Every structure is written in C-alpha cells, then in structure tokens.
Structure 1
C-alpha cells in the first residue's frame, strides 16, 4: 500500500489531507510506480483540472501532465508474502516432524536436506529404457545433452529431460546452466518447457505446477507453452490484485476471470487442468483454496472412509500434483520457494506401511507416491534480493538452489552422468566465443562451448575485429546523491553516449544493420541508470535500453555496454557491506558480462577493478588480447584463467603472449585433473 500525505511546499506544512492507494505494478528501469487510488484522482480533477489525455471517455493522467501538488510518500508493505512464507515454513516443519507418516516426513527431508544415502538408481526389470524415442520430442532443436539420448557411446546417458520424465531420484533434480543454455526456452533449445511436454506425453495421470519467482518470468513460461497446450489444459493463475494491463494479451485466454478480476476457476475446472503456471508467491492461492496434495489426500481418505467404513485402506494415495518445476530458482529466497513446495508435499498416507513400497516407482514412468521437484537456474548468477542485514546474516540471501548445489550429495555426483540428480549445461548457445572466454574460465570451470550463429558487429572502435570485446579505461570521478544512497559518474556517462553514437553511425556496416533498440546499457547504480537514460533522450536515442544489472538478468542484447561507475577505493568497503556495485560482487559481475551476444563494451577504472581478483582476470584477458583502451595499467600478465576457448587463439599471439597462454592451458588441465 502507498500513503500520500499532501503538503504545501512553500509553507512546509501539511494540508491535513491524505490518500491511501494500492500499488499494482513497479517499473524499476523507468523508476515508475503504478498505483490505484480513485479518491486522489477525484482530488486532482477538482483542484487541478482535466488531464491532457482521455481513453474511452476516461481521464488518464500521464507523466506529461504537470500536477502542482506535493506529497510526502510512504509505503506500507503487504503482510501477505510474509504470512504465506510463514505458513509454508510451518507446513514443512510439521511434515518433517510427522511421527507416523514416514513417506511424508522423508519427502520433506529429502527435498530440503538430501543426503548421499537418498540417491539410488533402480536398474531392475520394471525400469524402462532410460531414454525417450526421438520422434517424441516436441523441440527438435534440443541438443543431446538436453534430451539425454541414452546412447551408450555418449557421456550424458541420463540427463535433463529424460531424467525428469523417468523420475529417477526422490531428491530434487537440479538443472544448472549459464545464460543462453536453454534452461527455460532459448530458441531453438529448451529444457524446462520440453520437460513439461514430455511429462504430459508419457505420464497421462500427471498434473504439473510450473513456477517462477516473478510474474514476467511466469508469463514467459506460458508464452512458450501456448503453442502446444490449449486453454483447457493449462491455467495461468494470477492473484486477484493483478491488473489486466500487466498480463500479455497472448496469454489471457489461459487466465480465469470472475467479476472483472483474476480468480481461481471452479473446482471441477481446476482439477482438469494438466498444468498450472503461477509465481511462487501466488502458489499460496492453492494453499488458501485447500488444493494442496495434503488437503486433497485428506479429502480422499475421508470420502473413501465414509463410503467403506470397514475397509482398511492399503493402497497409497496418489498425489494430484505429481511434479513441481521451478524456473529461475536461483533468484528466489528459500522461504519463497517453500510456498509451492508446500502445495505438492505428499499428504498423510495413514497406515499403508505394508504396501507403500508399491508406489515408489523412481526410475519409471509409473505414478509415484512422492511428487518430483525440479529446480532450474544458475547459482553463479544473482540470487534473491535481500535488503535486511538480519536476513542476510541468517543467509536468507542464499537460494535453495545454491544451498542444494553446495551439498555433498550433489557435489559427489556432478561428474556422474548415470545418476539423475544433477545436470549442468555446458553449451552456451547465444554469445560470441570472445565474449564467452572470460566467464567460461572464471565462473564455469572452462565448460562453455559456443554453438550459436549470430550476426556480426562492424565497428572501427574495436582494436581486434575478430574479438568483439573492448574495455575502455576511465579515471573520471564518481559523485553521490542522497547521502551516498546511489552514485553516478559523469565521465562514464559521456563515454557511454559517445560509444553508442559511434556504433550507430557505423550501424549499417553490421550484419544485420545495428538498431538502437538492440543496444543495452547497464550499471549497478540506479542513479547512473537514470542519468544515462536522461542523456540518451536528449540525444534522441531513447530506444536504447538502459537498466541495472538486475534488470538484465535473464535477458540478452546484441550489444551490451557496462558502466562500472566506481573510481575510488574509499567507498568499496561500504559497497561490499551493502551489496552494491560491481567490485567484489562475483555474481553481479557474471550477469553483467554474459548479457551480450555480439559485442561487449566495459567502461570503468581498471586500477580500481583490478583489486577484485575476478575483475583482475578479466582485465588480464583484455590486455593479453589487445582489447584494452585507456590509461596504462600496472598489472602483471600471467596464465591464470586462460580458457580453452582462448587457448585456441594461441596461433595468433606473439611469442611472449603465446607462452603465457600455453602455460595457462597446462595449468588449467593440471588443476582439472
């Protein structure tokens, strides 16, 4: 909720008038807040006059309207998210302490605290062949790694989609991949979306909950499934407070509307849906509606018990929700993920100990008593945003995906392709090899392999046209606003605008010709973002996309320009304590340098950045390959973080650089062994 208290600015006193409104949307990149407050609209109409714009007879106030009113603004956070996370936490805690139902207790423990003893693979007679027929694939652009082809001569026998469909292990299945590997649906490659389609094809009784941390990410999942699934098969579940304008027109047919607001469909309609897609937080709607596996199991037990009071129920109750797939799981806080997890947690089975083993069908496509949990994301990129110091001290800024990824049970099987518990992608399908070289060596254990056919950027500003990457050194000073709440760097703003102007002046020489809308600019500081956007508007370049690094997570652009801002050491400690900037922020740096597909330009103070070991390695890469422009750097070159991709260019190095690259390559292989 937003509270606006009117003030008379000249007299510096309040008017005694206040308004309450409901926040309906945030546009972080533009710095806009959309809220709903009819009394304020009436107040403006009475004391200011009509606006400049009308739509269907309704008055519309836009940023172009000048309103001579001033307000003190405060925000009252909604208690709903905290309440839903608390309910989910208590549900999981109760399940883990369940004294009688071992299946429910073990499921909760395996999902959150898996141990090596929980991993098994049944190779018995009732396991089907561990791959799916080639003709069954919906997306024929998937690589073998994503399909898990099952061929014995390939290292990835049991991976990704096939492993998920076969439900090969009771512990969460992790799909780990860098940006562009097709974890969600990067055309032409897909994993999460293909997994949903294959589950529906091979498990006729399955019902899937598909989640993402944010509404836009959730809408994207629906957009990518709508070509295959019909409205009677898939539901896009929205909270009633969400406005129609926020939902893409293409997916509105998958939503249910009642009394001019989004709602949960009737019981019989909901139960017939094969896939329910919602944000992690909105999964709480199913909790409120008693549509969880636990509530449905109790309902089934009560009905069967009432119909057959003298019959002892021996068969286990099959869960209604058989699969939970969470995309971009690394971006959500663990308590947030507990909400959808509490929905699919199996219900109480009662006294079924004699026959419960019959329902445990891991490694087959028969229904299982325990639903399957799949987490998809990249623990090397930005995790959940947590501003509370107390919450960060309690490690709530560590996602469930990250915590599981670091557990011994997953670390022990990262190189074992015969166990369906963990699968890292190694193909980055969307970026130029030169752009992949630093992140591959620094963050991904030299595992990235370029496999995309992109356009080419032709620009005279590149010192080495074969390597579309440039670091522009800058020594201009940063400035702060609002008592160091945020920072900007005027010199870097000028360099950014000059770079964009130069690129577009030669844009016709690129293939295809470069457009302003294909250029993205990012910075870790909000004030720098706003000032760059303001300057670009003055230059008639408003089509250039400008945002924070967080805004760009999950997105890609043909050209990306990074403005680092920081140029003095005295504020680095404060940045680190507050989680700001790009220095000593490994995950934010990784997101920033992996957004570009065809050209990456970094503008910053190399003398400051080299204090960070990861940036030091990046700068060494630019110096080795003559991709640095600016003040001389006092930086010794060594063979650290020389990727295999970079080693393939060794024939083009001079003798000294060739020796450094060869030494780095030898060290890389020794360390790998």
Structure 2
C-alpha cells in the first residue's frame, strides 16, 4: 500500500523516514531524528511526509526552519506546486517577522503571507488565521508569536524541524511549547555540519553549544528505529562522498548521482602554497597572499579548461571559501581585477546550503603563527569540541567547518595551503593526512611530493621530542649537592 502512494523518486531510507513520521500519533514515539548529510534529500523527504500527514484526519503541521531561505524553499519548491495541482487543503501560511520589507520576499512566497494594508511590511497572524490553515511555516524565532496566540498544547499534530543541527537547544525548544505528549516531533539536520558557535565559556562548560539534534543523536542506541540516516547522496562526485563518508559518517554514505569529473584534475586535488599568514593590527582574521595568487591562477586555468559536461560557466559554478574575512576580501579583489566576477568568494559560514560545481579551499594558516598560540590553549579546552581553537585555526582544527566546506562541491574540491601545517597543527591533522595521501595516490598533489612532506613531518617530530639533550647529566643545584 505504501509503494502505491509514495513518490517513486524516494529511496528506501527516505521511505522509512516517511513511515516513521506518518505513524499514527496514538503510537507513542520519542522525537524522530532524520540525519542527512547535504544532498541526501532531507527537505524533499519532509515535504513528501507533509503531503501524507495531510491525508490523515484532524492533522495539522508546523514546519520550522532555522533560516528564512530554508522556510521559503518548502513553499516555492513543494507546497506551492502541490496547491496549484488541485490540493487547496494544503495551502500553507507563512509567518514572517512583522517589520521585514515585503519586496525582499519572493513573489510566490508572498501569496501565502499576511501582508499589512500598506503593502510594505507583514502582519502577525491571529488565532483565526492559524485555524484556517493546516500547514504553518515559520522560522524558530518567529515561532514564538504562535505561542502568544493561546493555542492549546497539541494543536499541531506534527512539528517538523529542519536545519536542527544549526540551532542552539534553547532556540529549538520555542516551537515545542505548542506540543503535547501526543505531538509527533521530527528533527532533521546534519550533526556533522557547522553548529552554532557559542563564545561564552560559562555557557560552553554547561554544553549549551550542543544542538538538541546532536544531544539526542548521542543518546539514542545505534540501530534505533527513530534515528534514521539518509545515506544516498545525489549531489557530489563519488570520490568526494567516499572521503567525507569514511571520516565523518562511519562509511555509510553512498554516491547515487553520476557527477562528471575533470579530465586533468582528480575530484580531490591539492595545490601547495608555502606563504606566510599575516594578521593586521586591528583584525582578528588572517590573510595569506601566496594562497591568494595561487587561487587566482588556478581559477583562470580551470576556466580555460572548463569541460562541456559541467554545463555553462555561471554564478554557481566556481566557489572559493576561507574561514577568514580578510582572505575573502583579498581573493575577491584579485579576481575582480582579472574580471572574474562570476566566481563566488565567501566565508565558510555563509555557504551552508549552497553548492558549486568546483570549490577552492584557502586554508590560510601556516605552522609559524599557529605553534606559538597552541601553548596558550588550556588543556581542558582542547577536549571541548567547539573550543576557541576552532575559531583561531579554521580548517586546521574545526572538523565541522572542514566537512561543511568540502560537501559544497559537486565535481572538484581543490585545496590551496601549506601541507606541512595541515598535517602537523590542530585537531584535523589526521583528516588532512588522509586527504593528501588520496591526492598522492591519484597524482593530484601539486607543488610538493609526498616523500618531501613525510621527511619534513619526521623532522618536526624529532624537534618536538628532543628539545633538551636527553644524554646530558641531571642538573642538581649547588645547595642540594652532597
């Protein structure tokens, strides 16, 4: 009976997720976790689940997301076409912050919003407005307005939270004020992508930087039926998926899409740039000019050798990411000088949810500036997953930052940086060693040989070990001598 009703594009895991979400609410279940790395169809799965929930009597759905763009996606791509196809019962209500300009919102989404009489800003919903719709779409922050409308707990039979890994636990709890014991709660997200950064040491010591999705994921048993991992990725090349799958997702990810690769560049490629990372006097960020020029040169080269299979070269084709704003400004300025305006240059934090045919990573940091700072990091802090070291060292220490960046690419990830620093500093050393060894095996390591890297790393290890002469006689102060 399920196969007839379900969309034929759904894979087995997505069907399993929909089955769990649409289980009658009379069957008590803990919050359902849908863990899906980027490109596995989380939003598609939740949207299909909403269509099935609406077939049940007396069901109402609250869809919450962390960002406005993700909330609008549900309406533009899924609910609007469904309503237009002759399903008026699924007409959603999109609640926006009251002071946002109407003109800044997509015209399709505007049809489902409450707009003030002046047609400049939005209107907050009344209880009657909510009662007229079976689907309400909000962001976590605008969900608080619903809590002020005197709705009974359990008014919504289903509360679906997308992008749950990007939200702090205190944000996630806001829409749950509308839940009762019988409300079916679903959290969807990727626990290995960037989580919110908490700067307060006091809050971090109390684990307030851990998202609810993360916390429940650790609590649930491994093969628990309410913890579903969507494992078929449709967006990236097999080599990219295999690398991220092995390091971040217990080897469970599979490549289902057939992304074309470049004839000259393997999907994982490394370009060596042994520059110097510099910090301006008034800035907390770093820049590395050697990497700036290397990236510009490589982008130029790639544009000349753009394969036909990759389609037209446009705004979403080439992306350059770096953890530091100063580096982003410099790369952007150099590319603009060469009239390469279509290349998107962003900080990693700004590319979540986007995808590029080719992605360049500028790692910026070198051993010379990191090694002095590493001693300042408290031992206790090194054990904390999102310690302040992550903020300082970028790709060298923050594995979620690294994973978020790599999974933006469809056909090629090109890293530009200092391989010795990447393999010897920070908590991501092993990830980088693995990346560089893959590049070596596929002849995509440029500017240095694998043997040279190994030799230099061994020399570094020796330096660390023998700071003092181990054969020197023990020093005893004169006062203590017999």
TM-score range normalised by the length of the shorter chain = 0.7 to 0.9
| Residues 504, 516 of structure 1: 8 Å contact kept | no
Residue 238 of structure 1: how far off its partner (Å): 0.6
Q: CA separation in 2, counterparts of 1:600 and 1:226?
A: 35
Partner of 1:173: 32
TM-score (norm 2): 0.84
Query: What residue in structure 2 maps to residue 290 of structure 1?
Result: 150
Partner of 1:599: 412
Partner Cα distance (1:620, 1:250) in 2: 48
Alignment map for 1:256-405 (pairs within 5 Å)? 256-260=114-118, 261-291=121-151, 293-294=152-153, 319-344=154-179, 346=180, 370-405=182-217
Partner of 1:533: 332
Residue aligning to 1:613: 430
C-alpha distance 603-490 of structure 1, shift in aligned 2 (>3 A): same
Number of paired residues? 427
Contact 1:508/1:514 (<8 A) preserved: no
* Higher helix content, 1 or 2: 2
Offset at 1:483?
A: 4.0
In the TM superposition, residue 216 of structure 1 has moved relative to its aligned partner by 1.5
Preserved CA contact (<8 Å) 1:488 1:528: yes
Please list the CA deviations of residues 459-482 of structure 1 after superposition, one character each: whole Å capped at 9, or x if unmatched.
x4x2xxxx3221111111111124
Q: State the distance in 2 between where 1:486 and 1:539 align.
A: 25
Tell me the residue number matched to 1:247. 105
Is the contact made by 1:239 and 1:282 (CA closer than 8 Å) also made in structure 2? yes
* Match among 446, 449, 471 for residue 251 of structure 2: 446
Does 2:347 align with 1:548? yes
Do the aligned partners of 1:516 and 1:541 also contact (CA within 8 Å) in 2?
A: no
Match of 2:48 among 186, 194, 213: 194
| Residue 210 (structure 1) aligned to one of 52, 60, 63 | 63
Choose between structure 1 and 2 for higher RCO, CA contacts under 8 A separated by at least 6 residues: 2
Query: Which residue is equivalent to 2:443?
Result: 626
C-alpha displacement of 1:631: 2.5
Give the drift of 1:497.
1.0
395 and 559 in structure 1: CA distance in 2 versus 1, 3 angstrom threshold: same
Cα displacement (A) at 1:385: 2.7
Structure-2 residue corresponding to 1:423: 228
TM-score normalised by L of structure 1: 0.61
The DSSP-based 3-state class of the residue aligned with 1:228 is: helix
Structure ID, larger Rg: 1
Judging changes above 3 Å, is the alpha-carbon distance between structure 1 residues 449 and 517 closer, same or farther for their aligned structure 2 residues? closer
Listed as ranges, the gaps of 5+ residues in structure 1 are 1-131, 148-158, 185-189, 295-318, 347-368, 638-673
Once the two structures are superposed, residues 287-321 of structure 1 have per-residue CA deviations (whole angstroms, 9 ceiling, x without a partner) of: 12223x33xxxxxxxxxxxxxxxxxxxxxxxx321
Question: Structure 1 620/169 Cα, relative in aligned 2: closer, same or farther at 3 Å?
Answer: farther
Any gaps of 5 or more consecutive residues in structure 2?
A: 378-386, 456-482
Instruction: Kindly report the root-mean-square deviation, in angstroms, between the aligned alpha carbons of the 2 structures.
Output: 2.1
For residue 194 of structure 1, give the secondary structure of its aligned residue in structure 2: helix
